[in-house]
Structure 1
């Protein structure tokens, strides 16, 4: 299943993991349509929440409900280790299709209240939670360790391609056709993602299974214990935790507010702004894909995340449309180092038998976002989204500086080989 050529440096090799590897091709295209649905929903449902309430805090509350199931990450990781990952993905994708279709139906018939939107967001999150560790662990299973950073970069390219297309399409359709049409399209994308996963049920070697008789709780605690004893893996997870506490909630919750109150943009303008972030992320991911199995993964991860935080600080201060679009593109570019390499480094620094649980703990770290979104939303109600974002970005930058001083091995990881942290 991992017979793709080893990725070597050069832009011509950026697609190495896809060549000659049909299972990964199917997974990649499934991801493309899955993320297309996710990014369309991020814009459309967030816009609807703000349109229904006019409140930054209630937009953050909706986001918190949609992302709350990420707090179940350790249990989702157990499922990814204990259950066939393809079957788990099919179940999750089917649930997501049903949940989004119900929201679309309510919106189409004029019965979508704010409360129903929050419940729908929670249902969508429950579908996405178990799929994230399963998708990421399946990548390593399909492409092998030496192609991992290339394959993860290609997955990031898929996500950023849809981040370019989804918001632009969603914003345009809100203006021309209305929000329900955009939600229905994301439902269709989920159906295509489901269909592409079906052939992966055949011809797979069995994944490593946990010991027979191990309880779910024991599997969770043993996985967490292994990670806590691993200094490098723990450092990677702390960066994930900090980024999802301080930066991602801004992007997930406050972009409609930035567009409307600080930049004077409509729904189409918001879509264009998010498209710039997607284009930047697409370029950054393609650069990483072209590097192949490169050295210095740890340094790129830490320093790229630092640049991402500083770009957010600059964006928070601008009130002009032109600089805002440029800075949003830079935010997308620098976020690629974080988005691609957080999973690559976590898989490289942990044992294969706990990969699902390690990714589940990563999902738990991501799951702090709903709580943080509520806190940041409350702060923004009093001081504004600009000041809130500026302060959060500076805190993120300070954390990374401290981490570099306390765990220099993460900065050096991969410079002389992966084992030399």
Structure 2
């Protein structure tokens, strides 16, 4: 047991990671204390299921709207300054919400507006924070650091609402909002103390819109990321019902107050802690896909149990199981999303993952509230529990572990000639589209295998920045083939060369190994010209 515990927390031996992890845990806990206070306040301002569920939707919707821009910003600007500004914005909005609540000047729509504003700061913060992890720990600790980030995020989601329930019981909702503002200051001070060494590059920074397009193209051509996003969407859509309906379960169905609300969320926190401690051992015996499926079964059972409970004891058991399910599924899928993306696009990939993650949380929470309005909270929770189980079975075939790497042959990948000196000024402009091509000679007996290898090459080109990619067969000489792809500019072409990971080069080398001839495949580059 000691060995597993040491493995779980081993990244914390690195001072910079330890400082920011603890401060981030405090900041995220404050956010969930605030969300709990907002949800509880709404039950007195406008106590309908749809209005209560809109509090969760308002906190999650900004990530759906801003996750991709936030990821692009985090990849092209100084992440430390970006994080400090995001935390300062959330601190200011949290303090304003506290003041208006204390003065009894807040209404339901004002509460939703300020909840949305705080969520916008969180949306800008999250991809940048997740993408800093490789800068804080060596590669040997990276996987566990990513999992530990997931544990911290989800522990704050579990412990924060529980703490919020007790703070509300002691000092009212304004105390919860004040606690949130103070927690933001903790992370701001830690970020100021962090002495980051920004990576240097000889290439100019990417433009904002171009960076977003490159991120979308990468995710679209990355099967492991697409599978992770699909599994996340199906899990979190149904799991969101608990966040939207729990305040009404406590107040209306169980007839209890904020202390009981905190107690039930505390049970979820206990489940989350236990689930986080078990994750290390689970990774040793279960695949990532099986781990998520098991978490789906547990989470669906928890929603059904919460829906039928009429006493606090079975409701607490449901929340305990929900905590185990939530942290197991979310930490596994978030780690998978980060490990599936290289450093140059990691924040954008995380942003797109979180766009889907929080988008379905907001949608699921709002739809659960709408369904609760029409058929009751009990039926809504049971329906979402059954829906989660059925959808988990339906998407299980989408594997999270990815294919087993195949050793690359000892073949050099095609290299184009150096640019002609007379085109130096044209290339320096860096804004004209570039067409790239490679010509192969293939033995007709290898046709099927070559096409399969080129299907993987297509994904590599698109992930690295290609706008489009095509493979052509010479109609007069079927043994000759040519692949062509285009990138936005010469600068983007130079970035493309740096974006190729060792696995990408191995895929290109396997396709190149099919070439037959005395000379290697001919690689060429063409820059667009206006004939006028």
Return the TM-score normalized by structure 1.
0.88
User: Out of 339, 363, 370, which is 1:348 matched to?
Assistant: 339
2:305–2:314 Cα contact (<8 Å) kept: no
Unaligned runs of 5+ in 1: 1-7
User: Out of 166, 171, 192, which is 1:177 matched to?
Assistant: 171
Aligned pairs for 1:245-394 within 5 A:
245-248=237-240, 250-289=241-280, 296-368=287-359, 369-394=361-386
Query: CA separation of 1:203/1:118 partners in 2, compared to 1, >3 Å: closer, same or farther?
Result: closer
Is the counterpart of residue 218 in structure 1 residue 204 in structure 2? no
Deviations 1:85-137 (A, max 9, x none): 22211111111000000000001111111121111111101110011111111
Partner of 1:5: none
Partner of 1:35: 28
User: Out of 133, 144, 148, which is 1:150 matched to?
Assistant: 144
Q: In structure 2, what is the Cα distance between the partners aligned to 1:367 and 1:162?
A: 16
1:227–1:233 Cα contact (<8 Å) kept: yes
1:14–1:289 Cα contact (<8 Å) kept: yes
Query: CA separation of 1:398/1:295 partners in 2, compared to 1, >3 Å: closer, same or farther?
Result: closer
Partner of 2:62: 69
Partner of 2:92: 98
Q: In structure 1, what is the Cα distance between the partners aligned to 2:269 and 2:303?
A: 15
* Secondary structure of the structure 2 residue equivalent to 1:110: coil
Is the counterpart of residue 108 in structure 1 residue 113 in structure 2? no
Deviations 1:188-233 (A, max 9, x none): 1111121112122x24242779x63643233222212221222221
Using the TM superposition, give the Cα deviation of residue 308 of structure 1 relative to its aligned residue in structure 2, in angstroms. Answer: 2.0
Q: In structure 1, what is the Cα distance between the partners aligned to 2:185 and 2:35?
A: 18
User: Out of 47, 69, 73, which is 1:54 matched to?
Assistant: 47
Q: In structure 1, what is the Cα distance between the partners aligned to 2:321 and 2:93?
A: 34
Partner of 1:204: 197
2:224–2:402 Cα contact (<8 Å) kept: no
1:93–1:194 Cα contact (<8 Å) kept: yes
1:156–1:282 Cα contact (<8 Å) kept: no
Is the counterpart of residue 26 in structure 1 residue 19 in structure 2? yes
Is the counterpart of residue 403 in structure 1 residue 395 in structure 2? yes
Using the TM superposition, give the Cα deviation of residue 153 of structure 1 relative to its aligned residue in structure 2, in angstroms. Answer: 3.4
Query: CA separation of 1:146/1:297 partners in 2, compared to 1, >3 Å: closer, same or farther?
Result: farther
Unaligned runs of 5+ in 2: 407-502, 504-532
Using the TM superposition, give the Cα deviation of residue 391 of structure 1 relative to its aligned residue in structure 2, in angstroms. Answer: 1.6
Return the TM-score normalized by structure 2.
0.71
Using the TM superposition, give the Cα deviation of residue 287 of structure 1 relative to its aligned residue in structure 2, in angstroms. Answer: 2.2
1:305–1:338 Cα contact (<8 Å) kept: yes
Using the TM superposition, give the Cα deviation of residue 339 of structure 1 relative to its aligned residue in structure 2, in angstroms. Answer: 1.8
Partner of 2:7: 13
Deviations 1:36-58 (A, max 9, x none): 20121121111001111111111
Using the TM superposition, give the Cα deviation of residue 273 of structure 1 relative to its aligned residue in structure 2, in angstroms. Answer: 0.5
Q: In structure 2, what is the Cα distance between the partners aligned to 1:16 and 1:414?
A: 27
Partner of 2:506: none
Higher strand share: 2
Q: In structure 2, what is the Cα distance between the partners aligned to 1:207 and 1:275?
A: 45
Using the TM superposition, give the Cα deviation of residue 9 of structure 1 relative to its aligned residue in structure 2, in angstroms. Answer: 5.6
Query: CA separation of 1:273/1:149 partners in 2, compared to 1, >3 Å: closer, same or farther?
Result: farther
Query: CA separation of 1:143/1:290 partners in 2, compared to 1, >3 Å: closer, same or farther?
Result: farther
User: Out of 210, 220, 228, which is 1:228 matched to?
Assistant: 220
Query: CA separation of 1:222/1:271 partners in 2, compared to 1, >3 Å: closer, same or farther?
Result: same
Higher helix share: 1
Using the TM superposition, give the Cα deviation of residue 252 of structure 1 relative to its aligned residue in structure 2, in angstroms. Answer: 2.5
* Secondary structure of the structure 1 residue equivalent to 2:256: coil
Q: In structure 1, what is the Cα distance between the partners aligned to 2:143 and 2:205?
A: 34
2:154–2:327 Cα contact (<8 Å) kept: no
Query: CA separation of 1:415/1:331 partners in 2, compared to 1, >3 Å: closer, same or farther?
Result: farther
Q: In structure 2, what is the Cα distance between the partners aligned to 1:207 and 1:139?
A: 17
Using the TM superposition, give the Cα deviation of residue 313 of structure 1 relative to its aligned residue in structure 2, in angstroms. Answer: 2.6
1:299–1:412 Cα contact (<8 Å) kept: no
Partner of 1:187: 181
CA RMSD of aligned residues (A): 2.7
Q: In structure 1, what is the Cα distance between the partners aligned to 2:297 and 2:201?
A: 36
Matched residues, number: 405
